[in-house]
Structure 1
Amino acid sequence: MATTASFQSAAEFRTVLDRVFTMMSEDPEIGPRLHAADVPQRFAFPDLDLVVNIRATYDEEYGNLIWVWSDDVDWEPRVRMEMASDTANRYFQGKESIALAVARRRIKTSGDVMAALTLIPIIKPVHAAFARVVEAEYPHLRI
């Protein structure tokens, strides 16, 4: 069984994931590649009763990605994923394979899953950066 490390609250989870999404959006290589891929996604984290919708920015918007912690958005996701917050934590630290997590039903998916899988190599460099943030600021989340 995979090691778990728990978030202290839904607010902490949002704060940490906001950091991850900001790192991805602002990275000079990752951000433009995610923007160009343009795969709107919806992630649900039922253990914390949270949902986030993410898409590439439009021309008039700043950055590469926009994310909203709500389903009240004006776009449709191409991919929907549902997972526990500890699965998300393991993934962003590079300790969880999306393919294995889907196969083992730790991540439930619908929509254009192949489009989401094409993003995995783009996002991979974020894992080390996120692990450094966890080590320095959120040691209770370390895997």
Structure 2
Amino acid sequence: MAHPPTYVAGQRASRHRLRVLGGAPWSARPPPADARDSRRFSPFVGAKSLFREVWARPPGCQTELRHAPEAKGRSMSTFANADEVYTYIGGIFEIATKEQSFIDATAGTGLVIKLIQTDPDAVIVIDFPGQKVATGDAAQSMDSTVQLRMSSDNSNRFWQGKLNFTLAMAQRKVKLDGKRSVALKLLPLTTGLFDVYKKLLVDSGREDLLIR
């Protein structure tokens, strides 16, 4: 009875070309006893494989493709839509614009921050001189002195004290353009609002947004 062929990956120059070799069912042909260069038949040379066995079905059978499992710890976006971003992230900025410490720190600076967020997409403009916040379409066309880009999840992490802003900038998770020095002076003031933000989530019944 004929055995199904075994597919064995080619070596070196032919590594990406498959050739059919006869042999025992579902196993690679053993190396010849008088092989001078045993490296040719070794599965590994250092950390790289030069000889790989491909377990294939007989010709005529459809090959099954399997997807790699999703990495553990990967989750969906924290916010379901832009409206949730405006409610909570926009909400904490509404509070910040009316905090006396922020008013004093931004006096005479004309600081207007346009926060552009992703996953989900959302745009928030924080007008510190005017002490107001605009969101959505109204914010899109507004001018600003600083443009801040980050994911909505990272905004949620930041306002809970779980995101190192300076490190995130170095890792390009956060991008800050415009009058950076003025905006960065507000960072120490934000720590006083972390508990306020978390209370906002709890009072709204959104403990699921809290980062433990």
TM-score, scaled relative to structure 2: 0.56
1:33/1:122 contact within 8 Å kept: no
| Structure 2 gap segments, 5+ residues each | 1-72
Q: Determine which structure has the larger helix proportion and give its number.
A: 1
CA change 1:108–1:134 in 2 (3 A) is same
Q: Which moved more, 1:5-14 or 1:81-90?
A: 5-14
| Structure 1 gap segments, 5+ residues each | 59-64
Q: Which amino acid aligns with 2:91?
A: R
Q: Which moved more, 1:41-50 or 1:30-39?
A: 30-39
1:6 to partner: Cα distance: 0.3
2:94/2:133 contact within 8 Å kept: no
**What is the DSSP-based 3-state SS (H/G/I as helix, E as strand, rest coil) of the residue aligned with 1:83?**
strand
| Cα distance in 2 between the residues matched to 1:119 and 1:3 | 31
TM-score, scaled relative to structure 1: 0.80
Q: How many equivalent pairs are there?
A: 133
Superposed, which structure 2 residues align to 1:1-143 within 5 Å? 6-27=78-99, 29-36=100-107, 37-58=109-130, 65-69=131-135, 70-73=139-142, 76-137=143-204, 138-143=206-211
CA change 1:3–1:22 in 2 (3 A) is farther
1:42/1:81 contact within 8 Å kept: yes
**What is the DSSP-based 3-state SS (H/G/I as helix, E as strand, rest coil) of the residue aligned with 2:140?**
coil
1:35 to partner: Cα distance: 4.5
Q: Which is bigger in relative contact order (C-alpha 8 A, separation at least 6)?
A: 1
Over 3 Å off, 4+ runs? 2-5
State the Cα RMSD in Å: 2.3
